[in-house]
Amino acid sequence: MQLALIGGLLLVIIAAAAWYVISSKKAKPKKAKLPDQLLTKSAEKDVENIFNDEFREELRNRGRLHFEKIIGENAMFLQQDLRLTTSQLNDYMKEEIKRVLQEEFSKYEESISTAKDQALNTIQKTQEVIEQQRLVLEKQMNEEAATEKARIVDHFEKNMADIINHYILAAIGDEIDLTAQLDYIFQYLEDNKRSNYTGY
């Protein structure tokens, strides 16, 4: 307010000085040099009186306060901009971190899925190999069992005559001579053996 008052006063003084100069030129054109000098000296004195050390100090103080006010306002705007920028930067960083994490989790899930598929394939191949080995072993055991069975039957057949002869002789004793009937007994046993062992 005081600054506006001082500015207005200064304009009035300058206007009065300008009016004085213009009016003196119109009234006395021959003595133009003298009033110009007087007017210039008068204006210089008025300016020195108006712009004394106190006024200059007041202007400096007002300028300093105005400058501090502008700096304060700009600092406030800068702080608001900084907060907004920080908020935007935080949002951007969150989005970036979220995107990167999603990409990494996707790659991790893909690698887990690939590892799982490979493990399942390996297990399946192992089961197939085990099944093939089981079939081979089963076949081999069946062949060995059949061979052993055939050997036992063959051994039994080879020794059957001796076994039967021994039991019959033990049961009957020396009363009957079985040598004559031995061919008949063997034929009977052979026929029974065929009918009994057809299942094998």
Write the pLDDT tens digit of every residue in 34-89.
Answer: 566 777 777 676 666 666 677 778 878 888 888 888 888 887 888 888 889 889 99
Residue 51 lies in a domain: yes
Nearest to 20 by CA among 50, 47, 40: 40
Q: How far is 60 from 98, CA to CA, in rounded Å?
A: 55
Rounded Cα distance between 28 and 13, Å, is: 22
Longest dimension (CA), the chain: 199
53 lies in which domain range? 2-88
Residue 98 lies in a domain: no
**Which two three-digit tokens encode residue 17?**
């000085």
Kindly report, residue by residue over 108-154, the tens digit of the pLDDT: 899 999 989 999 999 999 999 999 999 999 999 999 888 988 888 77
pLDDT, tens digit, 9 for 90 and up, residues 164-192: 767 666 666 655 565 666 677 777 777 77
In a domain, 111, yes or no: no
CA 58 to chain centre: 65
At residue 25, the pLDDT reads 60
Q: Is residue 117 part of a domain?
A: no
Domain boundary among 40, 60, 88: 88
Output the pLDDT for position 48. Answer: 66
Same domain, 9 and 82: yes
> Tens digit of pLDDT for each residue in 133-146?
999 999 999 998 88
Residue bearing tokens 């108006």: 50
Number of domains in the chain: 2
